[in-house]
Amino acid sequence: MLTYFLAGLLLTLAGIGDGVSVNVWGPSDLKYLVDAMKSFIPNAAMVYTRSFGPMQDVNGTGISMSRKFDGPFVLIDDEVVKISAIVLRPGHSEVNEPEMGLDETKPANLSVIYICELPEIKGKFDPQKAASLGLRPGPKYRELQLGNPVKSDCENIMVHPSDVLGPSVPGPILLLIDCPTPLHLKQLLSVQSLIPYYADTAGNVQEGSKTVHCVIHLSPASVTNTSEYQLWMSKFGAAQHIMAGHQMKNVEVPILKAGARIGARLNYLCPHFFPAPGFWSLQHLTCLSSGLKASNNDLMPGIGETVSAQNLLKFHFRPYANLGLDTSSIPNQTSRSVIIDELLSEIPEIADASLELNQLWSGNIETNGEKTDMQTNQVMTEEPWLPDSALPNCLEDVTRDDMEIVFLGTGSSQPSKYRNVSSIFINLFSKGSLLLDCGEGTLGQLKRRFGVEGADEAVGSLRCIWISHIHADHHTGLARILALRSSLLKGVPHEPLIVVGPRQLKRYLDAYQRLEDLDMQFLDCRHTTETSLETFDSSDDDAKFQKAKNGNTIRQEERVDSNLFARGSRMQSYWKRPGSPTENAAALPILKSLKKVLMEAGLETLISFPVVHCPQAYGVVLKASNRINRVGKTIPGWKIVYSGDTRPCPELVKASCGATVLIHEATFEDSLMDEAIAKNHSTTKEAVEVGDSSGVYRVILTHFSQRYPKIPVFDETHMNNTCIAFDLMSVNLADLPLLPRVLPYLKLMFKDEMIVDESEDVDLVTAAL
Those residues with Cβ within 8 angstroms of residue 185's Cβ, 6 or more apart along the chain or in another chain: 91, 179, 223, 226, 228, 229
b/e per residue 238-253 (b: at least 16 CB within 10 A): ebbbbbbbebebeebb
Q: Please tell me the pTM assigned to this model.
A: 0.82
Tens-digit pLDDT profile for residues 300-311: 677 888 998 888
Question: For the purposes of burial, counting CB atoms within 10 Å of the CB of 307, is it exposed (0-12), middle (13-18) or buried (19 or more)?
Answer: middle
pLDDT of residue 562: 34
CB 200 within 8 A of CB 302: no
**Beta bridge pairs of residue 325:** 315
Work out the average pLDDT over 673-680: 94
What is the model's pLDDT at position 370? 42
Q: What is the pLDDT of residues 585-623, one digit of tens each?
A: 888 999 999 999 999 999 999 999 999 999 999 999 999
Q: Which residues contact 445 (CB under 8 A, 6 or more apart)?
A: 408, 409, 420, 423, 727, 728
Is the model's pLDDT at 23 over the cut of 60?
A: yes
SS3 annotation, 596-626: HHHHHCCEEEEEEEECECCCCCEEEEEEECC
Spell out the residues 6+ positions from residue 68 whose beta carbon is closer than 8 angstroms to its own.
54
> By the 8 A CB rule, do 547 and 553 touch?
yes
Around 220, how many Cα atoms within 13 Å sit in the side-chain half-sphere?
Answer: 8
Of the listed ranges 177-191, 559-573, 600-614, the least confidently predicted one is 559-573
Nearest-angstrom CA–CA distance, 48 and 60: 11
Q: What is the distance between the alpha carbons of residues 272 and 737, in angstroms, rounded to a whole number?
A: 13
Mean pLDDT, the chain, rounded, equals: 81
- Torsion angle, alpha carbons of 149, 151, 156, 160, to 10: -20
* C-beta atoms surrounding 305 within 10 Å: 13
SS (H, E, C) 695-749: CCCEEEEECECCCCCCCCCCCHHHCCCEEECCCCCEEEHHHHHHHHHHHHHHHHH
Tell whether the model's pLDDT for residue 66 goes beyond 50.
Answer: no
pLDDT tens-digit readout, 353-408: 999 998 888 764 444 444 333 333 344 444 444 445 578 999 998 999 999 999 99
pLDDT tens for 404-442 read: 999 999 999 888 888 999 999 999 999 999 999 999 999
The conformation of residue 661, written as its DSSP 8-state character, comes to E
**How far apart (Å, rounded) are the C-alpha atoms in residues 260 and 600?**
36
* Nearest CA-CA partner of 625 in 636, 614, 633: 636
CA angle 157, 163, 169 (to 5 degrees): 155
Q: Is 547 exposed, middle or buried (0-12, 13-18, 19+ CB in 10 A)?
A: middle
Question: Which of these ranges, 31-35, 146-150, 169-173, 335-339, has the smallest mean pLDDT?
Answer: 31-35
Identity of the amino acid at 218: L
SS3 523: strand
pLDDT at 46 over 80: no
Per-residue pLDDT at 574 = 33
pLDDT of residue 92: 67
CB atoms within 10 A of CB 68: 7
Range 738-745 average pLDDT: 92
In terms of DSSP H, where are the helices of 307-439? 336-346, 350-362, 373-376
**Distance in angstroms (rounded) separating the CA atoms of residues 34 and 24:** 9
Identify the band that residue 84 occupies on the pLDDT scale cut at 50, 70 and 90: very high
Please choose, from the candidates 765, 769, 768, the residue with its C-alpha nearest in 3D space to the C-alpha of residue 334: 765
Question: Can you name the residues that pair with 619 across neighbouring β-strands?
Answer: 609
Percentage of the residues of the chain whose pLDDT score is greater than 70: 77
Band of pLDDT at residue 297, cut at 50, 70 and 90: low
